[in-house]
Amino acid sequence: MAYGLLIDGVLVAGAATIDVINPATGEVLAAAPRASTEQAEQSIAAAGRAFPAWSKLSFAERGAVLERLAEALRPRVDEFARLLTREQGKPLDQAKYEVLGAIAALDYYAAQELLPKVLRESAKERIVEQRYPLGVVAAIAPWNFPLLLMVLKVAPALITGNVVIAKPAPTTPLTTLLFGAVAADILPPGVLQTLVDQNDLGGLLSQHPGIAHVSFTGSTPTGKKVLGSAADTLKRFTLELGGNDAAIILDDADLTKVAPSIFRGATANAGQICLAVKRVYAPRAMIDDLCAALGKLASEAVVGNGLEQGTSIGPVQNKAQFEKLLGFIAEARSEGTIVAGGEPLPGPGYFIAPTIVRDLPDDARLVREEQFGPVLPVLAYDDLDDAIARANDSDYGLGGTVWTGDVERGIAVASRIESGTVWVNKHLDLPFDVPFGGAKQSGIGRQQGIEGMEDFTQARIVNAALS
């Protein structure tokens, strides 16, 4: 299949191409079009031309277009899922879940509306807060959930009246390009466009005066660069960045229930989730049993090509991340105890056996940094206050979990965790109507919910005298 960039309503070739690697084989899957600076400028200009007409439509009119886009995707779920597995690596059932999630997001936002809020009304005055769209949005998505995370930017931006330039990660551009090809027949020219780069156009987009808002999901170091680039034009931005999410197990928790949830939370999508469980704190008396349970789950996991039936954990998405994880494991082996895994799998592809590590010091890299892979440190605590302090002793604050047999006690502990989201006895529950975002260096702004929609708009206060 030939892939094209969507620019001004037309699918076009790039100025060059990028080889997209299948992480399960290490071989070239496809050649993706790579946009030039000139094509990026064309895209920004086309978006600027499209914005006035799109922004003047009502929410209902824009919602009808989004629903048509969702309807066009429904019969192609399997096609998108297979492509997603081949470019990203996740097992096919997880890929299908992601595609269905993207369609559900379009359905959800198609029905939303931001209504004016009456702040004060009397015989003498009426004060109303209105919301209006910002303009051209640059949506920059990462490689771990390339379709869903892109749509979770595109849908709220479009329904609120903005136009969008979608820039996927260079290692996973294909599902975004296919999404653009579907949208080309539905959305007016310039309303949604797709640009693929080799990580060389992000600065242009974030600095460009024709871009009003940058919605970025990715690593904290890159997010800092986006923030710096946006400063000169004071453009609006939403940053959903890295996490080092702590799971705190309380002494009344049932490990037979908790261990499988912790393992899934740490290894789903091969651990490549910003809100994944990244470190575990458990009472010292429970450590041996917990590590034994996690080690057993790791040994039973089926690691392999996501297209093969029965695979539960796919490959790491790219070679750079694969090598980074091997470095984490090598250091962890020298500082702690490998309970399970600890090795790459033989053969082609970027496969790492799910790895459980114990006995690490708190200053180990695997504890302090975001690993973004199926490698999990388990740490003991003797005092709950100390565990909470250690969990909070991080530059990150994206998410966290508390596991307990007493929900009220769990909520009390969760209320002391310095993160944007903390779950109690559950994980990765992210309904579209509930906002999420990071504390500290895990991000700025909110996604999903009314707050996420409002991030794509500007507040305007209309203050009128009535007499």
Which parts of 396-461 fold into alpha helices (H)?
Answer: 407-414, 449-454
pTM (global) more than 0.95: yes
CATH node for 5-241+442-465? 3.40.605.10
| Residue 58: pLDDT band with limits 50, 70, 90 | very high
User: How confident is the model over 289-308, as pLDDT tens digits?
Assistant: 999 999 999 999 999 999 99
The answer on pLDDT for 1 being more than 80 is: no
Mean predicted lDDT score pLDDT of the chain:
97
User: How confident is the model over 217-241, as pLDDT tens digits?
Assistant: 999 999 999 989 888 899 999 999 9
Question: What are the extents of the domains in the chain?
Answer: 5-241+442-465, 246-431
Q: How far apart are CA 200 and CA 164, in angstroms?
A: 19
Whether 240 sits among the annotated catalytic residues: the reply is yes
User: How confident is the model over 358-382, as pLDDT tens digits?
Assistant: 999 999 999 999 999 999 999 999 9
Whether 71 sits among the annotated catalytic residues: the reply is no
Distances (CA, A) of 65 to 37, 164, 181: 30, 14, 15
Mean pLDDT of 21-31: 98
User: How confident is the model over 170-207, as pLDDT tens digits?
Assistant: 999 999 999 999 999 999 999 999 999 999 999 999 99
Mean pLDDT of 416-433: 98
The answer on pLDDT for 2 being more than 90 is: no
Q: Going by C-beta distance under 8 Å and a sequence separation of 6 or more, which residues neighbour residue 286?
A: 249, 251, 253, 255
Which residue among 38, 67, 87, 274 is the active-site one?
274
The answer on pLDDT for 255 being more than 80 is: yes
Which residue among 240, 331, 343, 370 is the active-site one?
240
- The reported pLDDT for the residue numbered 432 is 97
Residue 79 tokens, joined: 């096609």
DSSP string, 10-62: EEE--SEEEEEEETTTTEEEEEEEE--HHHHHHHHHHHHHHHHHHHHS-HHHH
Q: Which fold has domain 246-431?
A: Aldehyde Dehydrogenase; Chain A, domain 2 (3.40.309)
Do residues 397 and 421 lie in contact, with contact meaning Cβ atoms separated by under 8 Å?
A: no
- The reported pLDDT for the residue numbered 231 is 86
DSSP 405: S
**Torsion (CA) 448, 92, 168, 99 in degrees, nearest 10:** -40
Q: How far apart are CA 103 and CA 432, in angstroms?
A: 12
